[in-house]
Amino acid sequence: MLMILVFIIVFHITSVALLFIATIDNAWWVGEGFSADVWRVCLNSTNCTEVNDSFADYPTLQAVQASMILSTVLSCISFLLFLLQLFRLKQGERFVLTSIIQLMSCLCVMIAAAIYTDRRQDFHQRNEWIYALTQGGGFGYSFILAWVAFAFTFLSGMMYLILRKRK
């Protein structure tokens, strides 16, 4: 049982780390000489433009930002709640509240990645130089990590739902 708990804790910490990297790092859309994410667009990693209300579809981009932040926060809360329930639950009870919060985190990261996938081309259209620059790129590793984090948070949410406290 101890090995299962260690595996679940390491799996959850990995999920949280993936969420932090995907939220913070500037590699959602990359190409030769530029990178873009939900926070800024950078040329050669030195000339960065912050994403603000002058960008097309800024409210949609804010939804992606908010969903990723909410996903990360919910996953951290879920982990802390799991540790609390680990010592407070009676034997035989399930980690249902932890599972629900982790599955909400999964839903938030899925929403953020899906919105970004669907609306990525609209994000930079008002600034023509950014739009022209980002046409030759592709999805970066932070975007891929967001989808991997979706899978990890879903699996850990399901593990918490199935896990029953035993001796």
pLDDT (0 to 100) of residue 166: 64
- Alpha-carbon distance 141 to 26, whole Å? 9
Q: Is residue 26 classed as helix, strand or coil in its secondary structure? A: coil
> What is the predicted pLDDT for the residue at 22?
92
The answer to whether 140 touches 38, Cβ cutoff 8 Å, is no
Residue 130 pLDDT: 58
Kindly report the CATH number that applies to the domain delimited by 2-162.
1.20.140.150
Distance CA 38, CA 65 (A): 6
Q: What are the per-10-residue average pLDDT scores of the chain (167 residues)?
A: 86 94 85 78 75 70 90 96 87 85 96 85 56 68 93 93 74
CB atoms within 10 A of CB 114: 15
pLDDT at 55: 64
